[in-house]
Amino acid sequence: MSTAKTFTRSACAIANSLDIVGDKWSLLVVRDLLHGKRTYGELANSPERIPTNILADRLRRLEGAGIIVSTPYQQRPLRYAYTLTPKGSALGDVLLAFVRWGKQHIPGTVTLNQGSASGGSAASAATSRRTRAG
C-alpha cells in the first residue's frame, strides 16, 4: 500500500527531480563520484571549483535525499568518504543525456575522461564507455 505524498509544486516528475538535483552543483558532484572521486578534498578539487561551503551543503542535501552515503574513514580529524547509492548511480543515464545534448548543441564542449583507474565503480566504467561511444 502506498501513501500519497504532498509535493512542493506539483506531482510532475521533472519538477520534483529538479527540486533534488536541479541546482548548478549537485549533478557535478554526482559526475565526480561516478568518475571515482570519494573525498571532500577530491570533490573540491574539480575543474569547476565549487566553493567549499556550497560543497558541504550539497553533500548534506544529496545524503538527505538518499543519493549518496558518507562513511568515516578517519577519526581525528573526522573525515568522510562519499559514495553513490543505487538511486544516485541511476543518475548516470541523466548525465549521459546531458553529455550527448551538450556535445551536439554547445560547440567546444568535451567529456571529462577521468577513467575508472582511480578506483571508480562499474557505473563509472560503463559511463565512460557510453560517453566515448556517444
Paired with 70 in beta bridges are 82
Instruction: Name the fold adopted by 13-133.
Output: Arc Repressor Mutant, subunit A (1.10.10)
- The count of other CB atoms within 10 Å of the CB of residue 24 is 10
- The pTM of the full predicted model, rounded to 2 decimals, is 0.80
- Distance from C-alpha of 49 to C-alpha of 43, rounded to nearest angstrom: 9
The domain locations on the chain are 13-133
Residues in a beta bridge with 80? 72
How many Å from the N-terminal Cα to the C-terminal Cα in the chain? 41
* pLDDT at site 113: 72
Instruction: Show the beta-strand stretches assigned E in the chain.
Output: 68-74, 79-84
In angstroms, rounded to a whole number, what is the distance separating the alpha carbons of residues 66 and 89?
A: 11
CA distance 30 to 68: 8
Report how far apart, in Å, the C-alpha atoms of 25 and of each of 8, 31, 90, 108, 134 are: 21, 10, 17, 21, 23
Cell 549533478 belongs to residue: 27
Could you read off the pLDDT tens digit of each residue along the chain, which spans 134 residues? Answer: 566 678 888 999 999 999 999 999 999 999 999 999 999 999 999 999 999 999 999 999 999 999 999 999 999 999 999 999 999 999 999 999 999 999 999 999 998 773 333 333 444 444 444 444 34
Pair type for strands 68-74 and 79-84? antiparallel
Distance, in Å, from the CA atom of 113 to the CA atom of 58, rounded to the nearest integer, reads 23
